[in-house]
Amino acid sequence: MSTITTRDGSEIFYKDWGRGQPIVFSHGWPLNADSWESQMFFLAAHGYRVIAHDRRGHGRSSQPWDGNEMNTYADDLAELIETMDLKDVVLLGFSTGGGEVARYVGRHGTRRVAKLGLISAVPPLMLKTEANPDGLPRDVFDGIRAAALTDRSQLYKDIASGPFYGYNRPGAQPSQGVIDAFWMQGMMAGHKSAYDCIEAFSETDFTEDLKKFDVPTLILHGDDDQIVPIGAAALSSATLIKDARLVVYPGAPHGLTDTHKAQLNTDLLAFIKS
């Protein structure tokens, strides 16, 4: 397997396909690099080098007890990019991965980055606060934590078969294959790592990170996202990132990389080429 070893000794697994300008993908919770496979296959076939890592604690990477928070995630991403000496990178983050990308920019800048993409991403802040009234109440995330401790396997099945892909909406046509893939990736994540990541994606405030974005940025979100509601996420991020391009998919759920992959692939390619 292809891995790098971080400064604290953790091994980070990554996939590296194709040739050309590098596109680096950061995945959502509790998933891994496999969740990007449709976009990676498509973009590699169109002449790009595509790279996706399993975040620490997820997939085939190490499962350290510590470091399951956004600063370390971002530093791991920086080590990957620097170790591989990637330049002119298109850096794309989905959901929690959007937070990782934002914190990467906040901590490491855009010296190696040509363009940025936030897809169904958690920034600027998921948690409801006085300053962020459109966020989700803390008890939502407390409920996820409780369910993870009680039966995390069932939690992942419930999320995948319901709100993540919009399969709980009238007229939806659930794919058992997609549900199974989500569950499988979730169960590959370390229990402690995935548990800690709930706090990381829900309580980290990325407002100041977004203000440091200084390269072309695509923000793409579904307006029926039940996991990361668009109001406190994409619509807010678009006001913080200078000259960001906001694209809203009407009626689309959180899991765009699967449910709207043809449209998403086309839009990503157009953005990268623009």
Query: Active-site residue 16, yes or no?
Result: no
Both ends of the chain: CA-CA distance in Å?
Answer: 34
Q: Which of 58, 254, 258, 260 is catalytic?
A: 254
Question: What's the average model confidence in pLDDT over 40-65?
Answer: 98
Q: Which of 76, 225, 258, 267 is catalytic?
A: 225
Does the domain made of 3-273 have the CATH classification 3.60.90.10?
no
pLDDT digits (tens, 9 = 90+) for 137-168: 999 999 999 999 999 999 999 999 999 999 99
Residue type, 222: G
pLDDT digits (tens, 9 = 90+) for 218-272: 999 999 999 999 999 999 999 999 999 999 999 999 999 999 999 999 999 999 9
Q: Which of 95, 202, 236, 237 is catalytic?
A: 95
Instruction: Inform me whether the pLDDT recorded for 1 exceeds 90.
Output: no
Across 1-5, 17-21, 25-29, 255-259, least confident range: 1-5
> What are the backbone angles phi and psi of residue 24, rounded to the nearest 5°?
-110, 130
Binned at pLDDT 50, 70 and 90, residue 58 comes out as very high
> Where do the domains of the chain lie?
3-273
Query: Active-site residue 108, yes or no?
Result: no
The residues, any chain, with a CB within 8 Å of residue 116's CB and separated by 6 or more, are: 90, 91, 92, 101, 105, 110, 213, 215, 216, 217, 218
The token duo for 213 is: 């974005």
pLDDT of residue 74: 98
Query: Active-site residue 95, yes or no?
Result: yes
pLDDT digits (tens, 9 = 90+) for 74-132: 999 999 999 999 999 999 999 999 999 999 999 999 999 999 999 999 999 999 999 99
Beta-strand runs (E) in 27-178? 49-53, 89-94, 113-119
